[in-house]
């Protein structure tokens, strides 16, 4: 039997990351559930173990180089060298440009861009050693522009450039690098957006669903399914792509 691969999913305590962690464990990978608060990862890890999978909860901050170093070392020691990485951790600090603080700009750049850079760099030796790697970066439909999200849309567009460049650099090492750009996905992040805009969540969902070609908003499992494909062994000839998971064409 082939050796079990180890995946790291960041921001996996809840939402899209949790769905990805559970899906990859179901696909047969050992999964490190990484999030800021280790205790918050317990439910995801229990669900994976209850379904017969292998998982480890790791508290870590993707924007902090020391924390990234210890996170990846711990995963390698306790689960196996990570050759699959899903850079999913994310935050929003929405505001119109004239009201956006430098802290809100830098916090968003820190988690999305610096986080993806640090995590990918830290996992790269294991991927090169194995001659195999899969990196998936969580971009967003907001990369195309979204009012109130100058920081977030810049970071998400930046992740697309990061993805394409790494696909070129790492392809010769057997590593594919792709991005997923979700549209509206029902999670705590979109609940917070509805609140900020002064909508009841159900009204917000209905308003969005009406504009989406498949006439529904997305669920975390929609993104997990796409991730499962991109990290699969058979997807080795797909690299540098941005897959919009948005119920219709974006981009
Ligand atoms: P979510 O429910 O807010 O979950 C994000 C998770 O990331 C949280 O558990 C959060 O922890 C964690 N996190 C934040 N900063 C971190 C850090 N520095 N290090 C480690 N973990 C950190 O968000 P989601 O909706 O599932 O979104 C997941 C990803 O998809 C994000 O990159 C988001 O930008 C992207 N996305 C979402 C949508 C959508 O419609 N929901 C659409 C497009 C793209 P705390 O709770 O402790 O902060």
DSSP H helices, the chain, are 15-26, 42-50, 65-78, 102-109, 115-130, 150-170, 188-196, 201-211, 220-231
Cα→Cα distances 118→66, 106, 137, 227, 233, Å? 10, 15, 12, 20, 24
The pick from 68, 189, 207, 221 for probing ligand 1's pocket by mutation, whose C-beta has the most ligand atoms within 8 angstroms, reads: 189
Q: Does ligand 1 lie within 6 Å of residue 185's CB atom?
A: yes
List the Cα angle 248/211/20 in 5-degree steps: 50
- The segments of the chain whose pLDDT lies below 50 read none
Task: Look at the chain and count its residues.
Answer: 251
User: Do residues 56 and 32 lie in contact, with contact meaning Cβ atoms separated by under 8 Å?
Assistant: yes
List the Cα angle 130/3/115 in 5-degree steps: 50
What is residue 174's predicted lDDT score, i.e. its pLDDT? 98
Answer yes or no: 152 catalytic. yes
pTM of full prediction above 0.95: yes
Q: Which CATH number fits domain 6-183+218-236: 3.40.50.720, 3.30.230.70, 3.40.50.2300, 1.10.1040.10?
A: 3.40.50.720
Cα→Cα distances 112→11, 37, 63, 199, 209, Å? 11, 17, 8, 26, 27
What is residue 250's predicted lDDT score, i.e. its pLDDT? 87
Q: Does ligand 1 lie within 6 Å of residue 222's CB atom?
A: no
The DSSP bridge partners found for residue 31 are 7, 55
Q: Does ligand 1 lie within 6 Å of residue 83's CB atom?
A: no
What is residue 251's predicted lDDT score, i.e. its pLDDT? 65
In whole angstroms, what is the distance from residue 81 CA to residue 72 CA? 8
Quick one: which atom of ligand 1 is closest to the CA of 18?
26
What is residue 2's predicted lDDT score, i.e. its pLDDT? 78
Q: Residue with the nearest Cα to atom 32 of ligand 1?
A: 90
Sign for the CA dihedral angle at 47, 34, 95, 145 comes to negative
Q: Does ligand 1 lie within 6 Å of residue 86's CB atom?
A: no
Separation of CA 2 and ligand 1 centre (Å): 32
Separation of CA 148 and ligand 1 centre (Å): 18
State pLDDT tens for residues 131-177: 999 999 999 999 999 999 999 999 999 999 999 999 999 999 999 99
What is residue 124's predicted lDDT score, i.e. its pLDDT? 98
Q: Residue with the nearest Cα to atom 47 of ligand 1?
A: 36
Q: Residue with the nearest Cα to atom 44 of ligand 1?
A: 140
Would you kindly state where each structural domain of the chain is located, as residue ranges? Answer: 6-183+218-236
Q: Does ligand 1 lie within 6 Å of residue 205's CB atom?
A: no
Q: Does ligand 1 lie within 6 Å of residue 184's CB atom?
A: yes
What is residue 1's predicted lDDT score, i.e. its pLDDT? 63
């Amino acid at each position: 039997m082939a050796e079990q691969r180890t995946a790291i999913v960041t921001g996996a305590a809840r939402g899209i990351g949790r769905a990805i962690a559970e899906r990859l464990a179901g696909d047969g990978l050992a999964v490190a559930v990484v999030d800021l608060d280790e205790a918050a990862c317990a439910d995801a890890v229990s669900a994976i173990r209850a379904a017969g999978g292998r998982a480890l909860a790791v508290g870590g901050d993707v924007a902090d180089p020391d924390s990234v170093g210890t996170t990846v070392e711990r995963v390698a020691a306790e689960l196996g060298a990570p050759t699959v990485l899903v850079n999913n951790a994310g935050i929003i600090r929405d505001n119109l440009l004239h009201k956006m603080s430098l802290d809100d700009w830098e916090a968003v750049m820190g988690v999305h861009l610096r986080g993806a850079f640090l995590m990918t760099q830290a996992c790269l030796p294991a991927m090169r050693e194995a001659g195999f790697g899969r990196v998936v970066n969580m971009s967003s439909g907001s990369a195309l522009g979204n009012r109130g999200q100058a920081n977030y849309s810049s970071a998400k567009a930046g992740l697309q450039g990061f993805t394409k460049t790494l696909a070129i650099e790492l392809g010769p090492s057997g590593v594919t690098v792709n991005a997923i750009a979700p549209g509206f996905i029902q999670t705590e992040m979109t609940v917070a957006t509805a609140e900020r805009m002064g909508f009841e969540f159900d009204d917000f969902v209905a308003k969005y669903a009406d504009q989406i070609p498949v006439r529904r908003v997305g669920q975390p499992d929609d993104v997990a399914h796409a991730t499962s494909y991109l990290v699969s062994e058979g997807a080795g000839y797909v690299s540098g792509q941005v897959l919009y998971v948005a119920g219709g064409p974006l981009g």
